[in-house]
Amino acid sequence: MSYHLLVFAPSAAPKEAAAFGLWFQAQTEWPEHHDYEDPAAATLSLKAWCLEMMQRFPPRSGPYREELPPEDKSLLADYSIGRNIVFVAVQPAQAKAALALARALAAQHCVGLYEASESPAAVRLPDGNNGLQAAFDCKPDMA
């Protein structure tokens, strides 16, 4: 079991719960034709977010993969990167730290954040003041 987060380009995502859920499902079918492990495919803001997130939670595979000592293996994360989304899976033991960093970086880089594994799940958007605000209540079928 993994803990999941999704960051996204706010301009690409619908601003209503049901439409967001459908958009999320379509995005995670990975319809784009590129390497989904390389941040180069993402928008500039998402790429910047991803590269900073990878400094704390290195990718398990792909061009930015790092070899870690056995005691640090729990920090490894799986990244799936599209043009308008970055989907991240971390070990449950790292959930709290990953969420805190994801939120701070999402605010810093003005990207949206879907806290898919939180209960309840939450979608947050940049608030225009270097922070994030709740966008809408998530439906149970979105998580």
Neighbours of 44 (CB within 10 A): 9
Query: Within the chain, how many helices (H) and strands (E) appear?
Result: 3, 6
Is the per-residue pLDDT at 143 higher than 70? no
Handedness of CA 111, 112, 116, 119 (dihedral sign): positive
Q: Which two tokens stand for residue 93?
A: 């033991």
Is the per-residue pLDDT at 142 higher than 70? no
- Strands (E) located in the chain: 3-8, 78-81, 85-90, 112-115, 122-126, 132-137
Arithmetic mean of pLDDT, 64-92: 89
pTM value is 0.90
When the pLDDT of each residue in the chain is averaged and rounded to a whole number, the result is 91
Considering 32-41, 104-113, 117-126, the range whose residues carry the highest mean pLDDT is 104-113
Report the amino acid identity of residue 68.
L
pLDDT tens string 59-70:
998 888 877 776
